[in-house]
Amino acid sequence: MKKSTLDLPGLLTSLDPDAGLAQRHLWLIYLAEWIRAAQPSVDGAVRRVEEIVAAFEADPEALNRLRRWSKTLVETVDITALLADFGFAPRTAMASEVVERLRYKLPSTPETVDASELFMLVFPDRFDARWLHALDSPLMNRITALLAPQQEESVSFWERNLLDAITYCSGQILSTGFAPELRLRMSEQAREEKPFHALIHDVENLRVEVMLPLRTTDRRDAAAAQLRERLESCRAAVSSVYSYVEAEGISVGLIFRLRQVRARIVRIRRLLDCLLSNDRSYETSELLSNLVAVGIERRSVRALMSTNSSLLAAKVAERSAETGEHYITRDGAEYRSMMAKAAGGGFVMAFTTLAKFALYALGLSVFWSGLAAGFNYAISFVLIQMLHFTVATKQPAMTAPAMAAKLKDIQTDSSIQEFVDEVAHLVRSQVAAILGNVLIVFPAALLLSLGYAYLAGHQALSTKHAEQVLDSLSLLGPSVLFAAFTGVLLFTSSLIAGGAENWFVLRNIDSVIRYNPSITRTLGAERADRWATFLRKNISSLASNISLGFMLGLVPAFTAFFGLGMEVRHVTLSTGQIGVAAASLGWEVLHDDLLWWAVAMLPFNAALNVGVSFYMAFRVALRAHNVSGVDRSRIYKAIRQRFWRRPWSFFWP
């Protein structure tokens, strides 16, 4: 059969129930394509279905071949598996599901007995869901009469498959509900009620009432109501796990399993509606339409990652918000404290800059040079943390979630003004931190370089190297792009920080350190307790500082391997490098354009480091907190008015 037969007479004549497996399934695929050709007209597609039904009704010989073809199809392909398992992961693991969805993106063959693969080949388009949904009950009854004209048994083939699918789905729900990962995180009430224990019993009760030859609808409906009630109890038990993760950590794998079991509960409800409805034809078209939508989502890796990582993103954003509150100053005392902490950070970064050039002088290969630089940055950032100093550019990714969380409560003019106050506090805090870093790191790096030259008898950098440093930091070069790229790395470090803290809490690592016999024997009970308390308090900052340090050192090395040539432009480090280069070139550098173009880059460097990092963290936090419907124009207007009337409030408390 060739695709040129995609017309009504050709479809009727090409139907061969004795053909091979692939040819029989190709006929069904071509039939769906012929119906879909009416796109985007749903009414046109429905008319085509009516035409093919009428054609079979008028041709007894073709109708006989259709019934033989249909009988062969249901004997070859397990429809129950389609109803029960289509759209669900074969293994309750996120990683394996990603691989499975990637496999579905590859072309597949109609020579298959897998009902799920055949269904996706027949109905690959969203339009299929629309026209299937539009099939009315009389037309569905005519289609049923074509495929199964007589019902000699008390229970139809369709009813048996629906019951089997409900049983299979219930078994999967039962196994997931009994999994320790979920069971131990359910509420105490859910564990006491044990809703999963009687689930299969209720399913069997329904099966008996449906299969009995002398069944009564009252007993059947009572059994169905009991099963629906049991499913609701199972759903409530699964939902109670979410209250656990509000207080503790969460993993993508756990969320994946929760969503799978809740989706199976919804599937059983749909199957029950189809089994028990008085208008079964309508419910069948609804079920098929829903399965088409499920099949389209089944192929989407993006949808999988989005739906299953949203709660993890919320937890990461929430933990970042808790940290970010400490970086927002609201009065003069806090402002001066921030300046002092930033000055301390700038002083440490001056030593970091000198160490960077010392490592460069070793002449290591690109990778080892990047690794050494990463160690240098990571140690410096951790030292700044331990000394309770601060680096300005690390703040935005932490403060953005704190700001996004406040948007949830904006309803009135007064709340908007309060949010504008927070914006002013945030901008002012950033200005204080950047000034504290930059105003100290430059003179400190300059003096350290002069001290080195006095002791060593030569400048820290050669004239050529110093000029190369200034030229690389110039506003006229690609430094603007590199500064924005550094903002991405700053944002990434905040995600790593939130994820590390979430993992630490999820695995209860502080309790492990505090009470594990092997650890307490090695460290002693008191020291183990101090380590547990220290790590619980500082794990987020440690993860952020260490990851950022190694990214600043290693990412340029990796991008160089691929010929991309990306570099980092951290405003504090860049300022320190200008100080070292200026000291090496002497007073004459004041007359050199290289110096002033490098200095001109610093405001843009700071703005891009801070702005890109804040923007990306803010967008993630908005999605994580489900903030929507905010009248942004009113907020922007209020910020503009504040800047016009009280501009200094953004810079000075």
Helix (H) or strand (E) segment spanning residue 40:
none
Average pLDDT over residues 94-105: 74
Q: Looking at the predicted structure, is the pLDDT value of residue 556 above 60?
A: yes
Q: What does the alpha-carbon distance between residue 251 and residue 609 come to, in Å, rounded to a whole number?
A: 30
Confidence of residue 2 (pLDDT cuts 50, 70, 90): very low
What is residue 4's predicted lDDT score, i.e. its pLDDT? 42
* Residue 644 to residue 98: CA distance in whole angstroms: 51
Q: How far apart are CA 315 and CA 309, in angstroms?
A: 10
pLDDT of residue 319: 57
Q: Quick one: the chain helix, strand, coil %, rounded to 5?
A: 80, 0, 20
Which pLDDT score, from 0 to 100, does residue 248 have?
Answer: 66
Least confident span in 19-23, 118-122, 208-212, 356-360: 208-212
Residue, of 124 and 244, whose pLDDT is higher: 124
Q: Which of 110-124, 148-162, 180-194, 317-331 has the highest mean pLDDT?
A: 110-124
Indicate the residue type of 220.
Answer: R
pLDDT the model gives residue 533: 93
What pLDDT shows up at residue 318? 57
pLDDT of residue 5: 47
Q: Which residues contact 414 (CB under 8 A, 6 or more apart)?
A: none
Residue 488 pLDDT level (bands cut at 50, 70, 90): very high
Tell the burial category of 493 from Cβ atoms under 10 Å away from its Cβ (0-12, 13-18, 19+).
buried
Domain 316-491+539-627: which topology? Answer: Glycerol uptake facilitator protein (1.20.1080)
| End-to-end Cα distance, the chain | 80
Instruction: Round to whole Å and give the CA distance between 332 and 580.
Output: 33
CA atoms within 13 A on the CB side of 430: 25
- For the chain, give every domain's residue range: 316-491+539-627
R_g of the chain computed on alpha carbons: 33
Kindly state the tokens that stand for 497: 């920080």
Is residue 316 predicted with pLDDT exceeding 70? Answer: no
Percent residues over pLDDT 90 in the chain: 47
Question: Residue 371 has what pLDDT?
Answer: 95
Q: In the 8-state DSSP scheme, what is residue 395?
A: S
90 alpha carbon, distance to own chain's centre: 21
Identify the pLDDT of residue 25: 94
Tokens of 542: 């440690």
Average of pLDDT values for 469-496? 92
Q: At a CB cut-off of 8 Å and minimum separation 6, what does 201 contact?
A: none
Asked which of 182-186, 402-406, 571-575 is least confident by mean pLDDT, the reply is 402-406
CA distances from 116 to 9, 19, 587 (A): 29, 21, 76
> Contact, 185 vs 241, CB < 8 A?
yes
Cα 598 to Cα 27, 352, 378, 467, 473, distances in angstroms: 70, 19, 25, 11, 5
